[in-house]
A and B are shown apart, each in its own frame.
Chain A
Amino acid sequence: MGGVKLVATTQSFFCTRVQWALKLKGVEYEFIEEDLRNKSPILLKYNPVYKKVPVLVHHDTPIAESLVILEYIDETWKENPLLPQDPCDRAAARFWAKFADEKVVFGVWTACTMEGEGKEKAIEAALESLAHLEKQIEGKKFFGGEQIGYLDLVLGWIPHWLNTMEEVGGMKLLEAEKFPCLIEWGQNFIHTPLIKECIPPREKLIEYLTASLSYLRSLAAKKP
C-alpha cells in the first residue's frame, strides 16, 4: 500500500504521535513540513475545517485529527495492533486518550503560560490530572501492556515535551516522589529506538515553546 504523506510540523507532538504509529507499523511515508505561521494551500485544501496539522494523506485522500488518524492507521495496517482487542479495554484506552488531550495537555500548557497568582492554581490542576495517569500506569510497563500501544503514543509527549514545558514555563510538575511510575514509563518509552528517532531536538523545541509562550503572553497583555 503506497502513497502515504504526512502534513505536519516537527515540533508538534500531535504530529509525532502519528509518525510513531506509522513507524511501528512499518509504513513508509513522505513527511511534508508545514509552516503554521504561513499555512500552505495544501494544508488548507486537505483540512479546510480546522486548518491544522497533522493531516495524513493516503492515496490522495486526507484524514485529519490525530486520534482519528491513529485509529485509521490501526485499521488499515494490521501488524502491531495499537488498540487492544477487547471492546471494554478499547473504550478505556479511548477514555484516557480523550482525558489526556483535553485535561492533561491543556492543564500543563496553562500552568506553563500562567504567571503570578493564577500559576499556583494552574499547577495544582495539572498535578491532579497527571495523578490519574500515574494510577493508570502503576504495575504496567506500557499503557498498552507489554508492548507500546495507542495510549502510549497519545501520552508520548510527556517524557520529552513536558519537561521542556517545565523549563520554559518555570515550574516543576513531574517530581520523582509523586510520579515514580509515570517517570519510569516515560524513560522506557522515549528510549525505544523507533520512538526516539522522531522526537525533535531539545534546543529547537525550547526555542519553539519560548516563542509560543511570548506570543501568547503578549496577546494576553493586550486584552482589556
Chain B
Amino acid sequence: MADEVVLLDFWPSPFGMRLRIALAEKGIKHEYKEEDLKNKSPLLLKSNPVHKKIPVLIHNGKPVSESLIALQYIDETWNDNAPLLPSDPYLRSQAKFWAEFVDKKVADFGRKVCMTKGEEQEAAKNGLLDCIELLEGELGEKPYFGGETLGFVDVTLVPCYGWLSVYEKFGNFSIEAEHPVFIAWGKRCLQKKSVSKSLPDQQKLYDFVVQLRKRHEIE
C-alpha cells in the first residue's frame, strides 16, 4: 500500500519549516496543505483537536502534532535514509536536549523581537543573542550540529536562521556581527536543497510581520 502523507502547515511557521525540511531530506512524497489560521479547516480541527495548531503530519490518516514529536516520528518511520538522530543513546539525548532548548527559547525570543517593543523587546534581543552564543558553543568545530550531515538540531534551528534578517530589521540589531559562526552554519545549511526550498523568501516574511504588527497595533 502506498504511503499517504499530508502536511498541514502555514508558510511563515518556523515549526512547519522543520517538517518540510525533514520530509525533503528523506525524499518523502507528500501533499502540502496551506492552512488559513483565521479560518481553520475541519481537517486541522479534527487532526489536532487539543491545540488546533499547525504543523500536523498525517500519515495514512493518523495525525501527529507538535513539530519535534513529528520529526522523531518521521525519523523512526522512514529510517532507511538521511537519519536525523544518531544511533548512540548519549548523542541522541544531547540532540534532543538542544532541540528542546531551541524549541523553548529561540522561537519565543524571536517572536517577541518581532512583536513587542521597548523593554520587552530589548530583553528578547538579549535572550536571542545569549541562545545563539550557547548554540555556537555546542556546534563547536563541526559543520553541522548533526556532525557531517544535517541532524535533528540543525532541522529544528535552521528555520530561525530563515527568520534572521526579519529579527534584525525589527530588533534593529545585527546578529551577524556578533555571531559569525552561527551565520556560517546557516549559510552551509542553505546550500542543501531540502533547506533552501523549505524556507520562505525573507522579504515575504518581513511583509508578513509588518501586517501582523499593524493588526496587533504595535508601533
Q: In the complex, which residues of chain A have a beta carbon less than 8 angstroms from the beta carbon of B89?
A: 72, 75-76
* Cβ < 8 Å to A, chain B residues 82-103: 89-90, 92-94, 96-97, 100-101
B62 with A69: CB separation less than 8 A: no
Q: How far is the CA of A132 from the CA of B96 in the complex (A)?
A: 26
Docked Cα-Cα span, A63 to B100, in Å, equals 13
Chain B min CB distance to A137 (Å): 15
Interface size on B, residues (CB 8 A): 22
Quick check: B93 and A68 within 8 Å, CB to CB? yes
Q: Which residues of A contact B70 (CB under 8 A)?
A: 91
A63 in contact with B92 given A90-B76, A94-B69 (CB within 8 Å) = no
Q: Does B32 contact A (CB under 8 A)?
A: no
List A contacts of B134 (CB < 8 A).
Answer: 49
CB atoms of B66 and A98 under 8 A apart: yes
Which residues in A have their C-beta under 8 angstroms from that of B96?
65, 68, 71
In the bound assembly, the distance between CA atoms of A98 and B134 in angstroms comes to 24
Cα A91 to Cα B77 in complex, Å, equals 11
Q: Give the number of chain A interface residues (Cβ < 8 Å).
A: 22
Q: Is A116 located at the chain interface by the 8 A CB criterion?
A: no
Q: Which of B23-65 contact A (CB under 8 A)?
A: 50, 59, 62, 64-65
- The residue in chain B whose Cβ has the minimal distance to the Cβ of A47 is B97
- Assess whether B73 is interfacial by the CB under 8 Å rule: yes
> Complex formed: what's the CA distance from A13 to B57 in Å?
32
Which residue of chain B has its CB nearest to the CB of A72? B93
Q: Within 8 Å CB of A63, what residues of B?
A: 90, 93-94, 97
A87–B72 CA distance with the chains assembled, in angstroms: 9
Contacts of A91 in B (CB 8 A): 64, 69-70, 72-73
**Which chain A residues numbered 26 to 68 have a C-beta less than 8 Å away from chain B?**
49, 58, 61, 63-65, 67-68
Question: Which applies to chain B's interface (DSSP): helix, strand, loop or mixed?
Answer: helix
Check: A88 CB closer than 8 A to any chain B CB. yes
A208: Cβ under 8 A from any B Cβ: no
CB-defined contacts of B93 to chain A, threshold 8 Å: 63, 68-69, 71-72
In the bound complex, do residue A95 and residue B65 qualify as a contact, i.e. CB atoms below 8 Å apart? yes
What is the chain B residue whose CB lies nearest that of A98?
B66
Closest to B103 in A: A98
Which of A49, A76, A95 contacts B69 (CB under 8 A)?
Answer: A95
**Among A49, A87, A95, A98, which residue has its beta carbon within 8 angstroms of that of B76?**
A87
Is A106 close to B, CB under 8 A? Answer: no
In the complex, residue of chain A having the shortest beta-carbon distance to the beta carbon of B138: A49
**A132/B100 in contact, CB under 8 A:** no
Per-residue contact bits, chain A 75-103, to B (CB 8 Å; 1 contact, 0 not): 11000000000011011001100110000
Q: Judging by beta carbons under 8 Å apart, are A88 and B73 in contact?
A: yes
Known: A49-B101, A61-B90, A72-B90. A88 touches B66 (CB 8 A): no
Q: How far is the CA of A63 from the CA of B94 in the complex (A)?
A: 7
Q: From known contacts A72-B89, A75-B92, infer whether A64 and B97 are also in contact, taking CB-CB under 8 Å.
A: yes
Determine how close the nearest CB of chain A comes to the CB of B190; give it in whole angstroms.
27
CA A99 to CA B65, docked complex, whole Å: 11
Query: What is the CA–CA distance of A67 and B92 in the complex, to the nearest angstrom?
Result: 13
Residues of A within 8 A of B65 (CB): 95
The answer for the CA separation of A132 and B51 in the assembled complex, in Å, is 12
CA distance A95 to B65 in the complex (A): 7
Chain B residues within 8 Å of A49, by CB: 101, 134
Q: Which residue of B lies closest to A74 (CB)?
A: B89
A68: chain B residues at CB < 8 Å are: 93, 96-97, 100
Which of these, B50, B59, B72, B101, contacts A94 with CB under 8 Å?
B72
Instruction: Return chain B residues, CB-CB under 8 Å to A132.
Output: 50
A69 to B70, CA, bound (A): 19
Q: How far, in angstroms, from A76 to B93 measured CA to CA in the complex?
A: 11
- A-B pairs with beta carbons under 8 Å apart, 8 shown: A63-B94, A67-B100, A68-B96, A72-B90, A87-B77, A88-B73, A94-B66, A132-B50
Footprint of B on A, CB under 8 Å? 49, 58, 61, 63-65, 67-69, 71-72, 75-76, 87-88, 90-91, 94-95, 98-99, 132
Q: Please give me the 4 A-B residue pairs with the lowest Cβ-Cβ distance, nearest first.
A: A75-B89, A72-B93, A87-B76, A91-B73
